[in-house]
Amino acid sequence: MFSSHKASTMLILPLFVASVMTTAAGNFLQEVDITWGGPRAKIYDGGRHLTLSLDKDSGSGFQSKKEYLFGRFDMQIKLVPGNSAGTVTTFYLSSQGPGHDEIDFEFLGNSSGDPYTLHTNVYSQGKGNREQQFHLWFDPTKTFHTYSIDWTPQSIKFLVDNIPIRVFRNWETIGIPYPKSQPMRVYSSLWNADDWATRGGLVKTDWTQAPFTASYRNINVNACVVSSGSSSCGSQFTNSMQSGQNDQGLDAKSRNRMRWVQSEYMIYNYCVDFKRFPQGVPAECKRSRFL
């Protein structure tokens, strides 16, 4: 699939220059800046661990020091335990501006004993509305689990503990915008969204349980770093598919695992929300079983 429009994704961008591929493993002091929340965000243990907290006054968040164009981004997160209703923990990539691109993991808290909702979305040129939601097959508050975004010119893969749960393919050939030209930073935050996060806003944040805390470790970035000048990041990924993979970049074992997740744990898929799209679901939904 990719070879048919290879030229369009071997990017030569006039505004950016890419360094060589970089691999950053584990140290938050070297890789991120605390951007809001003051003392509610803490880096400790020599940069190996980070925590974000939320109280009634404020949440907190951080962003990567560098911008990237394509790559793999892994983060180990232990989510807010107990009654996390109303809270949202995020891990995502985003560019800036009204026509921004964005690739989202959002973890929507819930009342004690109920499962978290893992919300995924893809924005391109400022347009999102491509939500898929999942429950997880484990308790994400008990220990750390790895959440990954694998972003190439061909596809965006969302993975949990290296199991793919979703693939959003590049369908520019049929006029679907795809994030490929705007460098993005890594972001993460913990904030209050009790107007919508839990059961559509019916369950509010219980501030007697505050502060709420999410824990992070083992940030790992294997991506193309971008700065001012001109870029060839896309060309580093044009031949990234390996033998045995399909045009989503998945081998047979990974495809089977994704089918299992989507059949057993997916709770919302925009591609089958016919009430939301009475004039017809988006064009990409008709092209692939997995999005």
Partners of 18 in beta bridges: 226
Q: Is the pLDDT of residue 182 over 60?
A: yes
Side-chain-side CA neighbours of 167 within 13 Å: the count stands at 25
Q: What is the pLDDT of residues 51-97, one digit of tens each?
A: 999 999 999 999 999 999 999 999 999 999 999 999 999 999 999 98
Task: At 284, list the tokens.
Answer: 């990409």
Confidence of residue 231 (pLDDT cuts 50, 70, 90): low
- Alpha-carbon distance of 64 to 200, in angstroms, equals 31
Largest CA distance in the chain: 57
Q: Which region among 18-27, 39-48, 55-64, 176-185 has the lowest average model confidence (pLDDT)?
A: 18-27
Task: At 192, list the tokens.
Answer: 């209050």
Confidence of residue 287 (pLDDT cuts 50, 70, 90): confident
Tell me whether residue 106 is one of the annotated catalytic residues.
yes
Q: Active site residue: 31, 67, 102, 284, which one?
A: 102
Q: What is the pLDDT of residues 255-267, one digit of tens each?
A: 999 999 999 999 9
Do 207 and 59 contact (CB within 8 A), yes or no?
no
Q: Which residue has the higher pLDDT, 242 or 197?
A: 197
pLDDT mean across residues, the chain:
86
Q: What percent of the chain has pLDDT over 90?
A: 74
Q: Is the pLDDT of residue 23 over 80?
A: no
Q: Which region among 8-17, 62-71, 109-118, 245-254 has the lowest average model confidence (pLDDT)?
A: 8-17
Q: Active site residue: 31, 106, 131, 284, which one?
A: 106
- Alpha-carbon distance of 262 to 259, in angstroms, equals 5
117 CB burial (10 A radius; 0-12, 13-18, 19+):
buried
End-to-end CA separation in angstroms for the chain: 15
Partners of 21 in beta bridges: 224
Q: Which residue's structure tokens are 């400022």?
A: 126
Average pLDDT over residues 89-107: 96
Tell me whether residue 172 is one of the annotated catalytic residues.
no
- Alpha-carbon distance of 131 to 198, in angstroms, equals 16
